[in-house]
Copies of this chain bind each other. A is one copy, B any other.
Amino acid sequence: MRVGPTGMKHLHQRIRDDIEARIMSGEWAPGHRIPFEHELMAEYGCSRMTVNKVLSTLAANGLITRRRRAGTVVAEPSNQQAVLQIQDFALEAARAGTEYRFKVLHRSIEPIDAAAAQRTGLPAGTQMLCLSTLHVMDDVPLAFEQRLINLATVPEADKEAFKDDPPGTWLLRRVPWTDAEHIVRAINADSAMAKRLKIQSGTACLILERRTWQAGAFVTEARITYPGDRHQLVGRFSPTA
């Protein structure tokens, strides 16, 4: 019976770590057939349910592929993905010990144009709350946010003044979402953006676009522009976590 260090608390954790280690080390390469459940039962001296729980979890995480009758094999590495944390400005400022404030520069209710209609999947002319917000840390503009909020999905946004919390924070706490789409790209700041962010015209900026839906209904779109030299998106990721 081969198990990991016995200091580890639970049986299924030991089995899981053991199998993960064999995959991660390359001992079991992609395509390698993993022992059948009844073989693992014998190897670890436990019931099938326990082995099954471990393998189901690994399958859900994409490390292995299971097929009835055929057995279980180590999965091919899939498309790489980058997981980036998107910080809440206020939280980030508090951690860094700096002062944060925001200012809503523009507010209106407008029907969306054709391009926005295509992006959001809504009919053109749908009424949207449009907000432009500048995020400032220690008197330095950190980001400029252009946001559309679907008043059909979030009618209470119309009455909100966005005095204590910026729109993103307010929405995150209020409206659950089921689907999100992100786009990241780089542009040269035009003169209007340069003036708002107090940077030179032409400076490279990072743009993060995020659209969220709730059960198919469009909720909000945010386009956040960061000066390239003042902000970067960072993420750490383990496939097994």
Residue A24 is within 8 A (CB to CB) of chain B in the complex: yes
Give Cα A82–Cα B173 distance, bound, in whole angstroms: 17
A window 194-236: CB within 8 A of B: 202-206, 208, 210, 214-215, 226, 228-229, 231-236
A window 159-216: CB within 8 A of B: 172-173, 175-188, 202-206, 208, 210, 214-215
Residue A87 is within 8 A (CB to CB) of chain B in the complex: yes
What number of copies of this chain does the assembly contain? 2
Our pick among B25, B30, B84, B208 for the contact of A215 (Cβ within 8 Å) is: B25
Residue A26 is within 8 A (CB to CB) of chain B in the complex: yes
Q: Do the beta carbons of A84 and B184 come within 8 Å of each other?
A: yes
Q: Do the beta carbons of A236 and B184 come within 8 Å of each other?
A: no
Number of interface residues of A (CB under 8 A): 57
Our pick among B80, B228, B240 for the contact of A86 (Cβ within 8 Å) is: B80
Our pick among B25, B173, B204 for the contact of A204 (Cβ within 8 Å) is: B204
Our pick among B21, B214, B228, B238 for the contact of A186 (Cβ within 8 Å) is: B228
Residue A81 is within 8 A (CB to CB) of chain B in the complex: yes
| Chain B proximity mask over A74-91: 1 for CB below 8 Å, otherwise 0 | 000101111111111000
Q: Do the beta carbons of A77 and B203 come within 8 Å of each other?
A: no
Residue A23 is within 8 A (CB to CB) of chain B in the complex: yes
Q: Do the beta carbons of B187 and A228 come within 8 Å of each other?
A: yes
Which residues does chain B contribute within 8 Å of A88, judged by CB atoms? 79-80
Which residues does chain B contribute within 8 Å of A188, judged by CB atoms? 188, 202-204, 228
A window 22-39: CB within 8 A of B: 23-26, 30
Q: Do the beta carbons of B237 and A82 come within 8 Å of each other?
A: no
Q: Do the beta carbons of A183 and B87 come within 8 Å of each other?
A: no
A window 67-125: CB within 8 A of B: 77, 79-88
Given A25-B215, A188-B202, A204-B204, is A233 in contact with B82 using a C-beta cutoff of 8 Å?
yes
Q: Do the beta carbons of A86 and B82 come within 8 Å of each other?
A: yes
Residue A5 is within 8 A (CB to CB) of chain B in the complex: no
Our pick among B208, B210, B236 for the contact of A181 (Cβ within 8 Å) is: B236
Q: Do the beta carbons of B233 and A206 come within 8 Å of each other?
A: no
Residues of A near any B CB (own CB < 8 A) = 21, 23-26, 30, 57, 60, 77, 79-88, 172-173, 175-188, 202-206, 208, 210, 214-215, 226, 228-229, 231-240
